[in-house]
Amino acid sequence: MTRANLNEVKSRLAYYARLVKAGETVILCERNKPFAEIRPLTPATAPPKRELGLMKGWFPVPDNFNDPDPDLEDTFENNPISPESGESAPFDPKS
């Protein structure tokens, strides 16, 4: 922790800014009486990283979790407005 009078900090601002960037706290004084401090900001902009697998074992995941869903495939493949059905789509970007 560094203490400095305001007149000195005004004349050597770049020096004290480097100290703060390096992690130092600067106490500002007026006639050798402290009235404020300049300290580095905490890194509040970056959210903390999450660990993977925190919920492991909380609920069962079936072995066929990533298998295709036959009902969903049927919806997409047998849709009445699909190009294979012969009907034209309601919006044709080429026209």
33-63: per-residue pLDDT in tens? 999 999 988 765 667 788 888 888 898 888 9
Range of the domain at 17: 2-38
Residue 31 in any domain: the answer is: yes
* Claim: this prediction has a pTM higher than 0.75: no
The residue-averaged pLDDT of 65-74 equals 89
Domain count, the chain: 1
Helix (H/G/I), strand (E/B), else coil: 11:
helix
Cα angle 15, 19, 24; round to 5: 155
Residue 58 in any domain: the answer is: no
CA distances (Å), origin 70, targets 6, 50, 65, 78, 89: 74, 35, 13, 12, 24
Q: Reply yes or no on whether the pLDDT at 89 is more than 60.
A: no
* Residue 9: CATH number of its domain: 3.40.1620
CA end-to-end distance (rounded Å), the chain: 73
Residue 16 in any domain: the answer is: yes
Residue 65 in any domain: the answer is: no
Residue 9 in any domain: the answer is: yes
Of residues 61 and 83, the one with the higher pLDDT is: 61
pLDDT, one tens digit per residue, over 13-32 is: 999 999 999 989 999 999 99
